[in-house]
Amino acid sequence: MPEFKTLGQFIIEKQADFPFAKGELSRLLRDIGIAAKIVSREVNKAGLMDILGHSGAVNIQGESQQKLDVFANAQFISALRSGEECCAIASEEEEDVVGLGGSGAQYIVAIDPLDGSSNIDVNAPLGTIFSIYRRLSGDGSITMEDILQPGEAQVAAGYIIYGSSTMLVYTTGKGVNGFTLDPSIGEFCLSHPDIRTPAEGRIYSINEGNYIHFAGGVKRYIKFCQEKDERTYRPFDSRYIGSMVADLHRNLLKGGIFMYPATASSPKGKLRLLYECNPMAFIVEQAGGMASDGLTRIMELQLSELHQRSPIFIGSAQMVRQVEKLLAGNEVPTFEGVENGLKF
Ligand code: AHM
Ligand code: MG
């Protein structure tokens, strides 16, 4: 049993670990925690309220937004605005960067306020993913260089899973810690100190409905997962919720790989680098795992646009290495052309 500690107590205790420690990052994390509690409350009562369902708006990715997405987006922006530590937000739900205008604020937040939103109507787990950067430009107007920093420049990242209980998991580059919301006292309490992910897992998570569109190396890896081999505990289990936070959270704790590869029609995959892939890569690496686009470490990829997508293979280190090896091999092409360095 970990020692009883709230998220607030833990953040203050760890503040001194941080090189720029003046308390701003701690306050920023605290503000995200507060907004998460409010979103958690709304997610939990979604089935009871008229809040459920489509708002009618379409986000810039061309996907229909649902009311809870809009609510979560507004909630996180409002918490970060009133906290005054954040100068700009890049959100999945906003076409452009939202400037908060706080003079002297040194942090930038990239966020997917409600990930896995196709799960809202069916009471399945949802999540929030966030990433925190220090601005490069010092003061004055925010520049795109401030926003489009590679994942390696993250100072903190985390996710909140709204599941059978609500958990907040985050890293500031010194390991990963998880906190479970105790609704009776309204506090996130340390429940998963120093999370480490197994080097070799037994779960693979991928939307196999897209199988015929995957590169040969991905297909071979799926077959590898399914083949019998008692020494390596294969076949592995296939588990896919369709909510990246929920799929990754399970795999982080139990060991496994989550994949959203490129396909011939979507050569960059589906998931967004800035507020989905990079924060998850930071967390998983800090827990001892790996994250790759198949060729390159996710956190080394350069961003040229806000809502840029990337293929992702993330989780237990041995599994990611294995899929990278198969992708690098000379696969029999199943599609014409080479996109994004991958053979189809
Ligand atoms: P969203 O941000 O619109 O919710 O989409 C992201 C989600 C991820 O959580 C999940 O891993 C993926 O989309 C599932 O996509 P698919 O339905 O194509 O398997
Ligand atoms: Mg998302």
Q: What's the sign of the alpha-carbon dihedral 273, 279, 285, 287? A: negative
Give the pLDDT confidence of 233-248 residue by residue, as tens digits. 899 999 999 999 999 9
* Range list of H helices, 50-209: 67-83, 144-147
So what's the pLDDT on residue 61? 66
Task: Output the residue whose Cα is nearest ligand 1's atom 12.
Answer: 242
| Candidate of 63, 69, 115, 314 to mutate for ligand 1, largest count of ligand atoms within 8 Å of Cβ | 115
Please indicate, yes or no, if residue 281 is contained in any of the structural domains. yes
The DSSP result for 296-315, as a single string, is: SBGGGPPP-STT-B--EEEE
Residues 253 and 169 in one domain: no
Give the pLDDT confidence of 254-310 residue by residue, as tens digits. 999 999 999 888 999 999 999 999 999 999 999 999 999 999 999 999 999 999 999
With a Cβ cut-off of 6 Å, ligand 1 is lined by: 63, 92, 112, 115-117, 207, 242-244, 270
Please indicate, yes or no, if residue 155 is contained in any of the structural domains. yes
> For residue 61, which ligand has an atom nearest its CA?
1
Residues 6+ apart with CB under 8 A from 245: 115, 116, 125, 126, 127, 128, 129, 159, 160, 161
Residues 227 and 336 in one domain: yes
- Residue 223's domain is classified under what CATH number? 3.40.190.80
Give the pLDDT confidence of 98-123 residue by residue, as tens digits. 999 767 899 999 999 999 988 888 88
Tally the residues of the chain.
344
So what's the pLDDT on residue 344? 37
Residue with the bigger pLDDT between 216 and 51: it is 216
Please indicate, yes or no, if residue 1 is contained in any of the structural domains. no
Token match 């958690």: residue?
A: 40
Cβ-contact 200, 316 below 8 angstroms: yes
Which DSSP helix (H) or strand (E) runs through 66? strand 64-66
| Candidate of 68, 117, 118 to mutate for ligand 1, largest count of ligand atoms within 8 Å of Cβ | 118
Q: What is the C-alpha to C-alpha distance for residues 286 and 283, in angstroms, rounded to an integer?
A: 5
Please indicate, yes or no, if residue 198 is contained in any of the structural domains. no
Q: Which regions of 77-164 does DSSP assign to beta strands (E)?
A: 86-91, 98-99, 107-115, 126-134, 156-162
Mean pLDDT, the chain, as a whole number? 89
Among 314, 319, 221, 335, which Cα is nearest to 267's? 335
Residue with the bigger pLDDT between 328 and 154: it is 154
- Residue 186's domain is classified under what CATH number? 3.30.540.10
So what's the pLDDT on residue 101? 78
- Find the 308 Cα to ligand 1 centroid distance in Å: 15
**Cα→Cα distances 260→44, 140, 313, 318, Å:** 28, 38, 7, 17
> For residue 275, which ligand has an atom nearest its CA?
2
Q: What is the C-alpha to C-alpha distance for residues 64 and 268, in angstroms, rounded to an integer?
A: 21
Residues 290 and 184 in one domain: no
Cβ-contact 311, 291 below 8 angstroms: no
Which DSSP helix (H) or strand (E) runs through 187? strand 187-192
- Find the 232 Cα to ligand 2 centroid distance in Å: 33
Nearest atom (ligand 1) to Cα of 117: 4
- Token readout for 207 is 């939307």
Please indicate, yes or no, if residue 113 is contained in any of the structural domains. yes
Task: Output the residue whose Cα is nearest ligand 1's atom 7.
Answer: 116
Q: Which of 166, 192, 218 is the last residue of a domain?
A: 192
Please indicate, yes or no, if residue 71 is contained in any of the structural domains. yes
So what's the pLDDT on residue 131? 98
**What is the three-class DSSP state of 6?**
strand
Q: Which of 168, 192, 216 is the last residue of a domain?
A: 192
Q: Which of 163, 192, 221 is the last residue of a domain?
A: 192
So what's the pLDDT on residue 196? 98
Task: Output the residue whose Cα is nearest ligand 1's atom 11.
Answer: 244
- Number of domains making up the chain: 2
Residues 255 and 164 in one domain: no
Tell whether the model's pLDDT for residue 14 goes beyond 60.
Answer: yes
Q: What is the C-alpha to C-alpha distance for residues 247 and 205, in angstroms, rounded to an integer?
A: 7
Residues 24 and 157 in one domain: yes
- Range of 295's domain? 203-343
Please indicate, yes or no, if residue 131 is contained in any of the structural domains. yes
